[in-house]
Chains A and B, each alone.
Chain A
Amino acid sequence: KNQVEQSPQSLIILEGKNCTLQCNYTVSPFSNLRWYKQDTGRGPVSLTIMTFSENTKSNGRYTATLDADTKQSSLHITASQLSDSASYICVVSARGNNRLAFGKGNQVVVIP
């Protein structure tokens, strides 16, 4: 059972446009939620980390939101650039263990 679900699976956007990626999770009890960016063939790189009490966090053109009541998060990319083409992975940590639960990722392709 996959505890982290992401949508859409993939999307193509024009350079300069915005997009929003969605993450729903069932991990409980919740500790924190992270968004990672993974370029093809590379390791994941952290973008944001949010705890239960935080409902928004920004990192440059990336803005993540969290609704811990509905167990949903989103990642908004503003003014996309070609270098934003990557997989964006939602990762959730539960209290009481040391593992991270990964979603399958949102594959974003930015075209000129």
Chain B
Amino acid sequence: EPEVTQTPSHQVTQMGQEVILRCVPISNHLYFYWYRQILGQKVEFLVSFYNNEISEKSEIFDDQFSVERPDGSNFTLKIRSTKLEDSAMYFCASNRQGPRMNTEAFFGQGTRLTVV
């Protein structure tokens, strides 16, 4: 069964450092997302990506964040200068047609980012 894969599963970084979280979406999917979940809180939308550009982003997704699909298979989330409050589980998701089309969104297993 196809799945969304994320690497690394756990990343520890010092405050102020840059991190790149990697995702390989399901191959025939067209919509890609990043969500985050701070420990004990609900999952929050960060950004959606379609046709090689950001289609929507939340207020959380400020200038410190960027996304890229560098080679047609990977989908990355970069945090330029990490803060303590960026510590969270980051989930990548992909969808064949987008949530408005009522198709299932598949989530990866997540990357746990710990900023120290």
Same complex for A and B? Answer yes
> Across the interface, which residues of A come within 8 angstroms of B110, CB to CB?
41-43
- Nearest-neighbour CB distance to chain A for B96, whole angstroms, equals 13
Which residues 53-101 of B have a CB within 8 angstroms of A?
A: 55-56, 58, 89, 91, 93, 98-100
Q: How large is the interface on B (under 10, 10 to 19, 20 to 34, 35 or more residues)?
A: 20 to 34
Closest to A2 in B: B42
Given contacts A102-B42, A102-B43, contact A31 B102 (CB under 8 A): yes
B104 touches A46 (CB 8 A): yes
> Across the interface, which residues of B come within 8 angstroms of A2, CB to CB?
42
> Across the interface, which residues of A come within 8 angstroms of B98, CB to CB?
98
- Nearest-neighbour CB distance to chain A for B49, whole angstroms, equals 9
Q: Is B25 an interface residue (CB 8 A)?
A: no
Closest to B56 in A: A98
B109 touches A97 (CB 8 A): no
B102 touches A49 (CB 8 A): yes
Which residues 44-95 of A have a CB within 8 angstroms of B?
A: 44-46, 49, 51, 89, 93, 95
B99 touches A45 (CB 8 A): no
A97 touches B56 (CB 8 A): yes
A32 touches B105 (CB 8 A): no
Given contacts A102-B43, A104-B41, contact A31 B100 (CB under 8 A): yes
* Most interface-central of B55, B104, B106 (chain A CB within 10 A): B104
Give chain B's interface secondary structure class. strand
Q: Is A11 an interface residue (CB 8 A)?
A: no
Closest to B100 in A: A31
- Nearest-neighbour CB distance to chain A for B107, whole angstroms, equals 4
> Across the interface, which residues of B come within 8 angstroms of A41, CB to CB?
89, 110, 112
Closest to A103 in B: B42
Closest to A45 in B: B107
Q: How far is the CA of A105 from the CA of B40 in the complex (A)?
A: 10
Which residues 23-69 of B have a CB within 8 angstroms of A?
A: 31, 33, 35, 41-45, 48, 50, 55-56, 58
Q: Is A99 an interface residue (CB 8 A)?
A: yes
Q: How far is the CA of A99 from the CA of B109 in the complex (A)?
A: 19
Q: Is A100 an interface residue (CB 8 A)?
A: yes
Q: How far is the CA of A33 from the CA of B55 in the complex (A)?
A: 21
